[in-house]
A and B are shown apart, each in its own frame.
Chain A
Amino acid sequence: MCLHKIVPFLLLLTLTPAHEAQDTSAKTPSDPAVYMVVFRTPAHVRHSSPQVFHGFTHDLWSFLREKNVLLKVDPERGTIETESEMSVGSMLNIAKQAGATSLLFVTVDRPLSKWIKVTVQSYDLDGKLMWSEQASDAGSMTGKGGYKKALERLQTSLARRLGGPGLPVRTEATIVPAPSEGVVKP
């Protein structure tokens, strides 16, 4: 009888962890990834156009992708670009369920004294603000110039944070499939 030969395999089989109840409500984040939400302030709604808002979001998204930041693409909405107020708690809930490990909250504003003002805040999943960066421009002659300068300033300050908390970048060891879609309007 060759029972003694198969016993180790049977033991191994029985000691394998049992199938756990599948919790489909939230994906367990394995690799670090950032979920981006972009908010347009009422002042920007009054004094600027949706094209500027979506254009800035697109440029920022492209910059982060170019720098290999691990951005989480929401299968439902791509990136949330909204004029409606949403609490950080709600955004974190969406980020968690999308499988992200941090939230990048971008606020696009248009104060009267500036062409554009952009604030980027990074939160961990516990809701703790890890860092914040701000860029604006008031000195340019045209709105287009102000937009360009503000974007450059923001890119410079974000470049310093690449690879740090809240802005994980893809290394050679990290194998992440490219998202099938880019920025999707809500």
Chain B
Amino acid sequence: MRRLLIPWLLFALAGQAIAQAPPTLVSLPRDTEIKLKMAQTLTSKHAYVGERVELVVAEDVTVGDALLVPKGTRVLGTVHFGKTKEGDKNNPHRVVIQVDYVRLGDRRIPLSGMHSDKGTVKKGTVVASAILLGLSGVLIAMNSRTAEIKEGAEITAFVAEDVELPALGPVNKSAKEPAPNPGAR
């Protein structure tokens, strides 16, 4: 009995020790590209410098077979160019955001990247304004343009410094590999 029990106990303890080992740290190198998505709509009418911006990770961030940052993780940015302060009635016609960091649990992984929108003027609006008001109509129409970064807009950011992160699990291969094309021969 004892001959069987001791190896079994040693085997079980070894397994437990492996299971309780801290998760493997994987290095996420600087300048790794991270696909993000806007989690809110931002317009030059409302966005003011310093305002926080919500984004999310659009695609799983992986290194080798290790999943480091899952899709949907919260990312925070800041309005870099916009109205000078909240409540300002001016429309700067342009909005620029700066991506700051990924919030992964209690950790902040610094990111770098910017995204901007200059706003567009609709041709129809300009033509209609020109017909109705002449040259002043064109100027009014040009001045009324609003820059907008819509929710869901894709943005690319980069890891700002080398970081070591615990692997959250293996990459979901079935989700990554494209489905075979049944029509292909």
User: A residues engaging B (CB < 8 A)?
Assistant: 3, 7, 10-11, 13-14, 16, 18-19, 21-25, 27, 42, 45, 49-50, 76-77, 80, 82-87, 90, 93-94, 97, 186
Return the CB mask of B148-185 against A: 1 if under 8 Å, else 0: 00010000000000000011110000000000000000
CB pairs A–B below 8 angstroms (6 shown) = A13-B13, A22-B168, A24-B168, A50-B87, A84-B53, A97-B74
Closest to B167 in A: A21
Answer whether residue B128 sits at the interface, using C-beta atoms and an 8 A cutoff.
Answer: no
Closest to B69 in A: A25
Residues of B within 8 A of A42 (CB): 45-46
Partner of B47 from A19, A50, A84 at Cβ < 8 Å: A84
Stretch at the interface among B102-110, B116-124, B133-141: B102-110
Partner of B86 from A24, A50, A80 at Cβ < 8 Å: A50
Partner of A90 from B51, B56, B104 at Cβ < 8 Å: B56
Partner of A93 from B2, B52, B72 at Cβ < 8 Å: B72
| Docked-complex contact A3 and B23, CB < 8 angstroms | no
Answer whether residue B42 sits at the interface, using C-beta atoms and an 8 A cutoff.
Answer: yes
| Docked-complex contact B40 and A85, CB < 8 angstroms | yes
* Binding site secondary structure of chain B: mixed
| Docked-complex contact B19 and A93, CB < 8 angstroms | no
Partner of B54 from A19, A45, A94 at Cβ < 8 Å: A94
Number of A-B contacts (CB under 8 A): 100
In the complex, which range does the number of interface residues on chain B fall in?
35 or more
- With A21-B169, A94-B54 in contact, do A84 and B106 touch (Cβ < 8 Å)? no
Residues of A within 8 A of B76 (CB): 76
Residues of A within 8 A of B6 (CB): 3
Partner of A13 from B16, B52, B106 at Cβ < 8 Å: B16
Closest to B55 in A: A90
Closest to B23 in A: A22
CB distance from A91 to the nearest CB of B (A): 9
A32 to B25 CA separation, bound complex (whole angstroms)? 33
